[in-house]
Amino acid sequence: MATVQVSEAEKVYILHGIRDDLRVDGRGCEDYRHMEVETDVVSNTDGSAKVTLGHTAVLVGVKAEIGKPKPMIPNEGYLEFFVDCSANATPEFEGRGGEELGTELSNTLYKVFNNQHSLDLRSLCISPGEHCWVLYVDVLVSSSLQGHLSIT
């Protein structure tokens, strides 16, 4: 991640402001920036969305295919994640630069959706042990400010 250079006095100003719940741009500490959500943007997917928050833009596409359930859990479907930090976002993601961050985000998504409370995986089952729905979720980080992502 790129570092921003600030002087001592600027640092003090920012810290004092946060103490009074006032960021430099006038937001409170818990306020979000302007967010835009658009759905059904990619026509050849079963579902897609584009979210813009501040300088970060993320495009997500979901494709559903029929596959064989995992041998350990025969009555549940599963999700496959792939996060691509594209070089459009920042020059640091050029070539294989964005791979590390991409795998880290994919692993986080796996952990988030791997429990019963986020998604009922049993609803993805068609016939136990033989067929189930596999949801392939592809995430594309299309723009960010010097490698900082505001959307998790």
Partner 1 sequence: MAVDMRLPTVKNSMSLSVSAAGRKDLVVPGDVITSDTGFMRGHGTYVDEDKLTASVAGEVQRVDKLICVRPLKTRFNGEVGDVVVGRITEVQQKRWKVETNSRLDSVLLLSSVNLPGGELRRRSAEDELTMREYLHEGDLISAEVQSVFSDGALSLHTRSLKYGKLGQGVLVQLSPSLIKRQKTHFHNLPCGASIILGNNGFVWLYPTPRQQEEEAGGFYTSLEPVSLSDREVISRLRNCLLALAAHKVLLYDTSVLYCYESSLQHQVKDILKPDVMEEIVMLTQQKLLEQES
**Residues that bind partner 1 in the complex, under the rule CB under 8 A:** 5-10, 12-13, 16-17, 20, 22-28, 30-38, 52
Q: 38 or 130, CB closer to partner 1?
A: 38
Q: How far is the CB of 120 from partner 1 (least distance, A)?
A: 25
Nearer to partner 1, 2 or 66 (CB): 2
Quote the CA–CA distance of 89 and 58 in Å, as a whole number. Answer: 10
Cβ 124 vs Cβ 77: under 8 Å? yes
> Cβ 42 to partner 1, closest distance in Å?
15
Nearest approach, Cβ of 39 to partner 1 (angstroms)? 8
Residue 33 Cβ vs partner 1, minimum distance, rounded to whole Å: 7
Four-CA torsion 68, 74, 76, 81, nearest 10 degrees: -50
Is the Cβ–Cβ distance between 98 and 87 less than 8 Å?
Answer: yes
32/117 with CB nearer partner 1: 32
Are 39 and 45 in contact by the 8 Å Cβ rule? The answer is no
- The answer for residues whose C-beta is within 8 angstroms of residue 14's C-beta and 6 or more apart is 6, 23, 24
Asked if 110 and 81 count as a contact pair (C-beta separation under 8 A), the reply is: yes
Specify the residue, 74 or 147, whose C-beta has the smaller distance to partner 1: 147
